[in-house]
Amino acid sequence: MTDANGTGVGRDLDVVVVGAGFAGMYLLHRLRGLNLNVQVFEQGKGVGGTWYWNRYPGARCDVESLEYQYGFSDEVQRGWTWTERYAAQPEILRYQNYVADTLDLKRDIQFETKVTGADYDQATARWTVRTSRGDVVRAKYVVMATGCLSAARVPDFPGMGSFKGATYHTGDWPHEGVDFTGLRVGVIGTGSSAVQSIPEIAKQAKELTVFQRTANFTLPAGNRPLTEEEIAAGREVLLEGRRRAFATKGGLHTFEYNNRLSTDMTPEEIRKELESRWNAGGFAFLGAYEDFLMSWEANTIASDFAREQMAKAIKDPGLVEKLLPQGHPVGAKRLCLDTHYLETFNEPHVTLVDVRETPIERISAAGVVAGGKEYAFDAIVFATGFDAMTGAILSVDVTGRDGARLRDKWAAGPRTYLGLQTAGFPNLFFVTGPGSPSVLSNMIVAIEQHVDWITNCIGRLEQHQVRAIEAQVEAEDQWVDHVNEVAAMTLYPEANSWYMGANVPGKPRVFMPYPGGVDVYQQKLDEVAERNYEGFALSPT
């Protein structure tokens, strides 16, 4: 049945997939391989997920192109050539469209459609899924491929809405781009999005004022065009590289993790590791030694080194004080990779406002009032981040078994078994959900890990005519405890990060990703599947 908009109404499907980013696209491909009837709903007008929305100037991946790509098909990958070490947003979006077209995915994706609700009916073991366009479809399985950083968040400053100029959020950028030439621009935030966009906005703006709450550790990305040799070599090792990535902590194979403890290294050896990794650019820095994020002593050596390097880029000694991060361990908040970020503050038309000294009081008609002073702008850019990991999932009103609402169940923080399922919600899966390595690893590896597991699981359930799979409460409790225990052994909880939900006032402070490593997690996933889905209840037809 089809309504006037051409959207399906009342269809009975095998699987509904929410989102058509990297996760939703690969899911669709794999599920089609099982001959299942799959419908993907996507809010955007095209595929891409986070790369569809984050079009701010300077947007670029912080994982190297040769790793930030699908690894499931040599054939698909051979048809694509990356141009830079770290791909910029337009190139990644072109790549995603290339994959979608090559695999003919778009015909099963309904665009401009937000999934608004999903209710489980125990009697039929079917989900009813509702969308913003009035679709009501039924499906045996629902998979949330909603992304970890897709619910853009603007702080609730007093006076929001009173500003007469233009406002933008980095995570929801106008597709036609923005010309800041000759304008007075304010940027609020200094996370990865700000670090990437500030140097680009500064190239156009007449005056640029940056409101910083927390100075971040940032290291030069070392972006450059890829050589033909690198591209050819990358192609040759694609599948083998991905196999190796699954056996690493961060799902990255283009650098080696040093597995020695800093306490077993001489100061000279430590310095050499830090220097070579800093100069190489990228996340290799975090792999300088095994206890990098395990002890303050070990981390302080790296933090001091990072501050020493960062200080070299800043001319004004007063600014050095402000721009150097203090009080949190390097790596406990997401490390930023930049291209001339700190150097931008040497320019005469760029001003830094430390909102710890002079807090933002309100947004006014003219601009931003902080510390009793009004800063007048033509445009304000909110680089204020996301309601990470849970925001997009909970934006869907999900009701599971016995009328339980997911929003209620997760009110004190997300609870999952392996980041894949949550008890009380049969046949509902999350890709890179809270409780899985997700954002602490190469997201494409984390996505493939989950999509492969979920697809294999659904395949086996269908083969054996299983009616429903559901995480058991005990297994979930044990997994949540385990995630917390592992997190407590690290320095991650020492920082006010979005990993902890700390950037959203009122959000429970829970460390959301699993910090045990992609390799350890993969073993656990394999074991659980081999033991006939240990920790999950399977109900027969």
What residues line the site for ligand N01 (CB under 6 A)? Answer: 60-62, 149, 155, 170, 188-194, 196, 211, 213-214, 334, 355, 360, 383-386, 439, 498, 503
- For ligand N01, which residue has the nearest CB? 191
Q: Which is nearer to ligand N01, 309 or 384 (CB)?
A: 384
Instruction: Compute the distance between CA of residue 5 and CA of residue 116 in angstroms, rounded to an integer.
Output: 18
Q: What is the DSSP string of 217-272?
A: -EEE----BPPHHHHHHHHHTHHHHHHHHHTSSSS--SSPPP-S-GGGS-HHHHHH
Give least dist CB 227 to ligand N01, A: 22
Q: Which is nearer to ligand N01, 347 or 361 (CB)?
A: 361
Give least dist CB 363 to ligand N01, A: 11
SS3 content of the chain, % helix, strand, coil (to 5): 35, 20, 45
Give least dist CB 361 to ligand N01, A: 11
Q: Which is nearer to ligand N01, 113 or 438 (CB)?
A: 438
Give least dist CB 194 to ligand N01, A: 6
CA quadruple 172, 174, 175, 179: dihedral sign: negative
Q: Give φ, ψ of 352 to 5 degrees.
A: -110, 130
- On whether the CB atoms of residues 404 and 519 are closer than 8 A, the answer is no
Q: Which is nearer to ligand N01, 197 or 262 (CB)?
A: 197
Instruction: Compute the distance between CA of residue 504 and CA of residue 153 in angstroms, rounded to an integer.
Output: 8
Q: Which is nearer to ligand N01, 338 or 476 (CB)?
A: 338
Nearest to 241, CA basis, from 229, 249, 253: 253
- On whether the CB atoms of residues 415 and 422 are closer than 8 A, the answer is yes
Q: Which is nearer to ligand N01, 265 or 495 (CB)?
A: 495
Q: Which is nearer to ligand N01, 58 or 400 (CB)?
A: 58
Q: Which is nearer to ligand N01, 69 or 190 (CB)?
A: 190
- On whether the CB atoms of residues 209 and 187 are closer than 8 A, the answer is yes
Q: Which amino acid is at 142?
A: V
Beta strands in 443-499 (DSSP E): 466-471
* Cα-based distances in Å from 509 to 40, 62, 283, 412, 421: 32, 26, 26, 8, 21
- On whether the CB atoms of residues 357 and 321 are closer than 8 A, the answer is no
- On whether the CB atoms of residues 261 and 290 are closer than 8 A, the answer is yes
Give least dist CB 495 to ligand N01, A: 9
Q: Which is nearer to ligand N01, 196 or 441 (CB)?
A: 196
* Cα-based distances in Å from 392 to 19, 68, 249, 395, 498: 10, 22, 26, 5, 14
Give least dist CB 439 to ligand N01, A: 6
Give least dist CB 297 to ligand N01, A: 24
Give least dist CB 355 to ligand N01, A: 5
- What are 285's two structure tokens? 């820095």
Alpha carbon 391 to chain centroid, angstroms: 12
Give least dist CB 423 to ligand N01, A: 28
- What are 397's two structure tokens? 């009103």
